[in-house]
Structure 1
Amino acid sequence: MTSRRNFLKGALGTAAAAGAGWAPQRALAAGSSYKALVCITLVGGTDTHDFLIPTTASDYSRWVDLRASMLEASKGTRERSLLLGLNNAEGTSVGFAPELQELHELYQEGALAIVSNAGPLNGPTSAADFSPRTGIVPDRLGSHNDQRSVWKTGGFDGAPSGWLGRLMDFFPEDSPAARVTIGESSPMVAGADTVGFTMSRRNLRLPDGFEDSKVFGSTELPALLRKHYRKTGRTMDNMFMREVLKAQNNAYDVSLMLRRPLLEGTVGQQIDQEENLLAERLAMVADIIADSATFGFDRQIFHVTFGGFDTHRDQFDVLPGLQRKLATALKGFHRAMQSIGMDEQVTAFTITDFGRTLQGNVTGTDHGWGSHHCVVGGAVRGGRVIGEMPPYEVGHDQDWRRGALIPTLSVEQYGASLGRWFGVDEAGINQVFPNLSRFDPNAVDLF
């Protein structure tokens, strides 16, 4: 006989892990201190090589030579003297692009760490594995949807649940309001039994009859409609429709829960939102977090999307503005968390489809693989570049093609460090990231 849970998984698309048979062994009880993870997906594949730029004379000269055609459009904004310098642990001299000034400030004060050259891997990989191509090389490299899905779920496009959602499965919060996506729908926050809730400021309004004081000229109809849907959901004989209506009522309840802090708009107002979609979305996250005590959640996860990074051409007409918006939004979000004393309880981090080629293609860059990532929060041991900083040249051991980087850190290593801070023990971490044993599990030490 089909169980109710199995029926829902098949009929309503209830999330399951990318790997077969995912079922979290609850390795710990929820702690007493609230924590939130905020994943920011930079959609399109951001240019790693214009995020951190070499500052030594020889490295910078090679970087310029490989990007000469596209740098003509930079209008001098990539002059070596304008770079915002920082040194990683190995002493390789690099700097932020000038548009990332706010990230430089967070780095200097120790609230931002950079995870260098991370991406999807089946195991430690170098250029030698491509000739002849070995089984360790991942499939579908360069595919936007698939690589973005691998980053989030461990599987290709269509995988039903994300590693952030599977980390959340170790805690008792099963309300969709504890798993919020702002922007395009994504499996990142979905777990074994809870899909999560996707929203934007544009869909804060409830359907007619659920919030209106008057419908079709009647002041009594809204209450009657609400009573009808609530009652029908409990009494309808058809199992499928009963569960559909239950989901509808659940969406109504979650909408009411989240709308109040968002409509009141408290701490999020501190984040500069002028023509900055990422800042607007992070302001929504900030308002929800500020009201977390009302929800009674011990843990929350958020996924925010920010697009436009597929810069095959005219990169310098597009990318600097996106970098400025990213830096402004991340700094504003961190300052908002500081203002309510929750900066050590909230960690924001970035992912992207893939990095891009070091060598330009006249006015832009093409699909790559490994990329650098930001991790921001009061608990982060910032002011560091974690991992190996690859050389700014072509033909080295980690060059896939035209300076596109073969990752030296895996998604599993990155996610495991975040998961440990979140409060999942090693048994749980290895459930969420079953391939972690193929890598050094402690290579990414963010906290």
Structure 2
Amino acid sequence: MTRVSRRQFLVGSSVLGALGVAGISAVTWDELQQRASVSPLAAGSGILVVLTLYGGNDGLNTVIPYADNAYHDARPELSYRPEEVLHLDSQLGLNPAMKGLADLWRDKSLAIVRGVGYPQPDHSHFRSMDIWQTAAPGSAAPGSAVPTGWIGRWLDATGDDPIRAVNIGSVLPQLALGTKHTAAALDPSSAPLSPTLSAALSGLAATDPADTTAQDCVCIGYQSEQTVTKTFSSITPPDKSKKAANPLAAQLDLVSQCVKAGVPTRVYSVSLGGFDTHADERHTQEQLLGRFDEAVSGFLRDMAAHPRGKDVVLLAYSEFGRRVHANASQGTDHGTAGPVFVAGAPVKGGWYGDEPSLTDLDNGDLKTTVDFRDVYNELLQKVVSTDPVPVVGAGRRDLGFLA
């Protein structure tokens, strides 16, 4: 009989409905303190925070080639004038909403990887995000169907602790799904379990020598749930007003609490949506980038001031950039390559990857200069200290943004 993993059992169990979670294993407010006190993360262990910007962020109005006439010609009303841009050098600058990241750049703790994408790009949100999150190893074009995510494959290769990776939110992204293991989910909106339900789960987790293989599997599943539940007891739910004003800041506030408590989690996943700016882009994107900037710069300042936080590295990416030319609605349509941000105390700040040409295009799209799997390769090696080959395949290269 094939043994069902604890995660697979929990995914199919009705207890997740009671936990307020759909289709995944949850962690609750009753858990973190015990794990942090019994088995805290070892000092010096790298921590990776993966931030997904859903919708296809316009990279050209994020990292702005303000000195390139081709940029202004392609976007006569959508482009930013040089005096509006937060200059990083004589050619490129940040969107005016990103003052916090400009400070990180000056502190040399922000790396910007330019022209990141993948071969044979796909303009579909769903397919492109699937490619980024699964990171199919080995093939020249990462377009083949892969059921596991890149963090999920790392989980499969490195053990069975249910909280080595945690997603903030009740729905796991594809990147967190492995064959044997998945990340846990910490839902900021979930309520603590009632005493009655907690007692019922404890009973279901108890083993018996007379158990069949199937019954033993049930016990293992509930034992895993109990482990995760006991770990997050010290975490305080985010302030509702803060969550409403900036949901990403609320998510990163939870990550901050986990890191400071010494929770033995190596990878956290957070997200911000709304970047599909087909019309009236400037206002919408500036608001979103302002939330992104406020949340990320505040989080990293907080981390830099704490001993455990000095090992934190944050990756921010989107599924694709946008077309070079503005459309008739003062927005931009789905494109290809875009910038990726890597930030934190361990980061060697500066430019990485070549800036794509705005005139040598691929049917109106930017040409990729960096394969996104090279970014993952370096993060896996130098932040979570693992062999990247089982995750992203052989033949990848480091870019040098981490010491």
How far 1:326 moved relative to its partner? Answer: 0.6
1:400 aligns to what?
362
> Could you report, residue by residue, the CA deviation over 1:225-264 in whole angstroms, capped at 9, with x for unpaired residues?
3554334x6578565565345424422431231132235x
SS in 2 for 1:46: coil
1:106 alignment partner AA: L
Change (3 A) 1:208 1:369: farther
Alpha-carbon distance, 1:432 to partner: 2.0
Correspondent of 1:317 among 279, 283, 292: 283
Residues in 2 aligned to 1:277 and 1:236: alpha-carbon distance in whole angstroms: 48
Q: How many residues were matched structurally?
A: 368
Conservation of the 8 A alpha-carbon contact between 1:347 and 1:376? yes
- Deviation at residue 158 of structure 1 after TM alignment: 7.3
Aligned position for 1:153: 134
Q: 2:61 aligns with which of 45, 50, 53?
A: 50
The equivalent of 2:370 in structure 1 is 409
CA shift digits 1:264-315 (9 cap, x unpaired): x7xxx9xx766001110011111111112xx4x3x51111111101111121
When residues 412 and 341 of structure 1 are mapped into structure 2, their CA distance, relative to the original with a 3 A threshold, is same
Which of the numbers 83, 86, 89 marks the counterpart of 1:84? 86
Give the superposed CA RMSD: 3.2
Distance 1:241 1:69, change over 3 A: farther
Q: 1:236 to 1:50 in 2, by over 3 A?
A: farther
Deviation at 1:446, TM superposition (A): 3.3
94-103 or 308-317: which moved more? 308-317
Residue 442 of structure 1 corresponds to 398
2:228 aligned with 1:254: yes
**Given the superposition, is the C-alpha separation of residues 387 and 11 from structure 1 closer, same or farther in structure 2, using an over 3 Å criterion?**
same
- Other-structure match for 2:332: 365
Q: Corresponding residue for 1:193? A: 180
CA contact 1:44–1:353 (8 Å) conserved in 2: yes
DSSP 3-state at the match of 1:401: coil
Superposed counterparts of 1:146-225, under 5 Å: 146-155=127-136, 159-169=146-156, 171-172=158-159, 174-183=160-169, 184-206=171-193, 209-210=196-197, 223=199, 225=200
Once residues 315 and 94 of structure 1 are traced to their aligned partners in structure 2, the CA distance between those partners, rounded to angstroms, is 20
* Matched residue type, 1:189: A
Contact 2:7 2:221 survives alignment (8 Å): no
The C-alpha deviation readout for 1:1-57, integer Å capped at 9, x for no partner, is: x34258986996899xxxxxxxxxxxxxx986322111000011100010111232x
Q: Distance in 1 between matches of 2:275 and 2:202?
A: 47
Gaps of 5+ in 2: 13-22, 25-40, 137-142
Identical residues among aligned pairs (%)? 24
The answer (yes or no) to whether the contact 2:311–2:346 under 8 Å persists in 1 is yes
Match of 2:250? 280
Q: Secondary structure at the match of 2:234?
A: helix
Amino acid aligned to 1:365: T
Residue 187 of structure 1 contacts residue 195 of structure 1 at CA under 8 Å; is this kept in 2?
A: no
Higher CA-based Rg: 1
| Equivalent-residue separation in structure 2 for 1:357 and 1:226 (angstroms) | 52
Task: Check conservation: 1:182, 1:303, Cα contact below 8 A.
Answer: yes
For the residue of structure 2 that corresponds to 1:107, the secondary structure is helix
Which secondary structure state, in structure 2, belongs to the residue aligned with residue 203 of structure 1? coil
CA distance in structure 1 between the aligned counterparts of 2:145 and 2:297, rounded to whole angstroms: 33
Separation in 2 of the partners of 1:256 and 1:9?
20
In the superposition, relative to structure 1, how do residues 230 and 275 fare at CA in structure 2: closer, same or farther (>3 Å)?
same
Q: For the residues of structure 1 that align with 2:185 and 2:145, how far apart are their CA atoms?
A: 17
Alpha-carbon distance between aligned partners in 2 of 1:113 and 1:53, rounded to the nearest angstrom: 15
> Scaled by the length of structure 1, what TM-score is found?
0.74
Using the size of structure 2 for normalisation, the TM-score is 0.81
Distance 2:144 2:130 in 1: 5
Structure 2 CA distance for aligned equivalents of residues 338 and 236 of structure 1:
52
Cα separation, 2, equivalents of 1:281 and 1:7:
26
Q: Unpaired runs of 5+ in structure 1?
A: 16-29, 72-77, 122-136, 212-222
Q: Distance in 1 between matches of 2:7 and 2:192?
A: 27
**Residue 20 of structure 1 corresponds to which residue in structure 2?**
none
SS at 2:123's partner residue?
Answer: coil
Instruction: Return the letter of the residue paired with 2:284.
Output: V
Q: 1:204 to 1:291 in 2, by over 3 A?
A: farther
Q: Which residue of 2 aligns with 1:386?
A: 352
Q: Partner amino acid for 1:120?
A: Y
The amino acid across from 1:358 in the alignment is: V
1:389 partner letter: E
Q: Per the alignment, do residues 245 and 319 of structure 1 end up closer, same or farther by CA in structure 2, a change over 3 Å counting?
A: farther
The equivalent of 1:219 in structure 2 is none
The corresponding residue for 2:52 is: 41
Letter in 1 for 2:55: G
Contact 1:145–1:157, Cα closer than 8 Å, also in 2: no
- What letter corresponds to residue 392 of structure 2 in structure 1? F
Amino acid at match of 1:359: H
Q: Distance in 2 between matches of 1:7 and 1:175?
A: 11
Aligned counterpart, 1:307: 273
2: CA distance, partners of 1:339 / 1:7: 38
Structure 1 pair 236–42 and aligned structure 2 pair: CA distance change class (3 A): farther
Aligned equivalents of 1:284 and 1:110: distance in 2? 25
Indicate whether 1:100 and 2:102 are aligned.
no
Mark the CA change 1:180 to 1:158 in structure 2 (over 3 Å): closer, same or farther. farther
- Distance in 2 between residues matched to 1:289 and 1:307, nearest whole Å: 24
Q: Distance in 2 between matches of 1:311 and 1:276?
A: 19
Q: What letter is aligned with 1:178?
A: R
